[in-house]
Amino acid sequence: MTKEQKDNLFVLIKSLSKSEKRQFKLYVGRLGVNEDSKFLQLFNILEKLQAYDEAAILKSGIVKKQQLSNLKAHLYKQILISLRLNPSHQNVRTQLREQLDFATILYHKGLYKQSLKILDKAKALAIANEEKNIAYEIIELEKVIESQYITRSISSRADELTIQAKDLNRQNLLASKLSNLSLQLYGLFLKTGYVKNDDEYNRVTKYFNDRLPEYDINELGFREKLWLYKSYLWYSFLTQDFRSCYKYSKKWVELFHEHPAMIKLNPVFFLRGNQYLLEALFYIKHHEKFKEALNKLENITQEDWFPKDDNVESLTFLYVYSNKFNLHFMEGSFREGLPLVSEVLEGIQKHRSRIDEHHIMVFYYKIASLYFGIGENRKCIEFLDKIISNRSLQMREDLLCFSRILNLVAHYEAGLDYNLESLIKSTYKFLIKMEDLYEVQKEMIKFLRGLGDIYPHQIKGEFKKLHKKLKEFEDHPYERRAFLYLDVISWLESKIENKSVDLIIREKFQELNQKK
């Protein structure tokens, strides 16, 4: 993203739909502001610009440089107020906040009875929709009002509110502990990927067990169960227990289907749950369930009732297309997956402001892998270079490492061996620096480094030796993660059997499904 586009006001205006822009102008009209209002003029200028240009704004003469910051802040606030009033952004959460504001206004006017009536209805709605933090806020305000609004029932009301506040506080505390644990595990996974040895496994397990609060599953509501399943899911991902990943992501998705109203209220969590379910099924190679889950996700996101906003649409694109790639990788149907490349590149441009850099790089890695699978190694190298040359990417060290390994293999396959030695050295240095050097990677680099000293008639024999060594790591609890990113075994078998990589993977897929 260019520096100019990072201006918050400009990005916000560019994110508005036609209906939201129309709503904003109607909202300004309702304010009784004349058409020459400075903040409306600024809006019109920024709407037309392709990139943020402060010089163009100042040149228009509507504002001096010293006043521009205040004018932008005022416009930003007015746009947010307009969006809040837009029906498309109304949901239970915003309704509850609105009711709480109304009740607070009535309380300050001394209209206690009216305020309590609104709060009682809002509290019931909040509890029904698992909005327990807002419900707790509502009860706290009820307690304040009841202490000033004297009725004969104050004794029973005091007991009732105290019990409700105590129960909600306990549930909120449990949800907070579980959400903290889930977030910390997720952050650890993004930074380091899977555990690499017994020491790391023991450290992550102790970390998880020490922070997992006591709970009774029968007493948990939707929200507490959701955070509980998330915590177990991230622990399972970190420790490479993919069957447990499947178990807890399935519970996560089923939880939403048991509470369909929560899909509308929390579409992002629903989408993420489906993404992790698909990821787990991909890792355990359960093709039929994977295909079924992907079709179900795609169909439900196209339903009229399913929430539609910029963020949801971007995430839907990200998860659906990422798993469409994975489906082709499972089946070995690499060539059939080629039409996805142009669709994904268009989607990246469309959703770029809402998809983080890491996920864009993951797309590039999948595209590179697709081209590698059909033997278009130069195209593979082209997309790998987008990852390797990205100096700002700080997350998922494993993605960076395996991009370099695949880059080496693709250079060898493409016959670009004039700089292979320097590539091997730079890759080796990078892996040591990242502290991410595994036996699989060591064997790959050792093999590629020695290729120059091998006579042509000896190459197949060397491929067989490497294949035998790497097969030992295929089911190793820590080394096997190398094969999640790069199917080196299938590549070697393609060299030994003189077949294409995609054909080897397709044959394995057919054999696996015949057994099932």
Q: What is the pLDDT of residue 1?
A: 36
Q: Is the pLDDT of residue 444 over 80?
A: no
Closest by CA to 516, choosing from 296, 295, 287, 330, is: 287
As given in the structure block, the two tokens for residue 320 are: 């659906």
Say what the pLDDT of residue 4 is.
42
Nearest to 37 by CA among 82, 66, 2, 78: 78
The pair of structure tokens assigned to 68 is 């521009």
Is pLDDT at 288 greater than 50 in this prediction? yes
The residues, ordered by sequence, that sit 6+ positions from 293 with a Cβ below 8 Å of its Cβ are 274, 277, 278, 281
Query: Which pair of structure tokens corresponds to residue 413?
Result: 């396959």
Exposure class string for 23-36: b at 16+ Cβ within 10 A, else e:
bbeebbeeeeeeee
Which sign does the torsion angle of CA 334, 337, 341, 344 carry? negative
- At 370, the pLDDT band (50, 70, 90 cuts) reads very high
Task: Give me the residue spans of the domains in the chain.
Answer: 4-89, 92-175, 391-516
pLDDT for 217 beyond 60: yes
Residues 382-423 have pLDDT tens digits of 999 999 888 765 556 667 878 888 888 888 888 887 777 788
**Pairwise CA distance, residues 242 & 225, whole Å:** 20
From 314, 323, 318, 325, select the one nearest 296 (Cα to Cα).
323
Task: Please count the CA atoms within 13 angstroms of the CA of 14 that sit on its side-chain side.
Answer: 19
- 509 C-beta neighbours (distance < 10 Å), count: 17
Share of the chain above pLDDT 70, in %: 92
Instruction: Write out pLDDT tens, residues 295-331.
Output: 999 999 999 999 888 889 999 999 999 999 999 999 9
Nearest partner of 319 among 259, 264, 233, 253, judged by Cα: 253
Average pLDDT score over residue span 485-496: 81
C-alpha 233/C-alpha 208 separation (Å) is: 11
Interval 246-280: pLDDT, tens? 999 999 999 999 999 899 989 999 999 999 999 99
Return the amino acid letter for 234.
W
Helices (H) and strands (E) in the chain, counts: 26, 0
> Phi and psi at residue 349, in whole multiples of 5°?
-65, -45
| Cβ neighbours of 132 (radius 10 Å) | 20
Q: What is the pLDDT of residue 155?
A: 62
Query: For the segment 30-52, what is each residue's pLDDT rounded down to a tens digit?
Result: 776 655 588 889 999 999 998 89
**Which of the residue ranges 30-39, 119-128, 364-373, 413-422 would you say has the lowest mean pLDDT?**
30-39
In this prediction, residue 495 has a pLDDT band, given cuts at 50, 70 and 90, of: confident
**Distance between CA 88 and CA 332 in Å, rounded?**
42
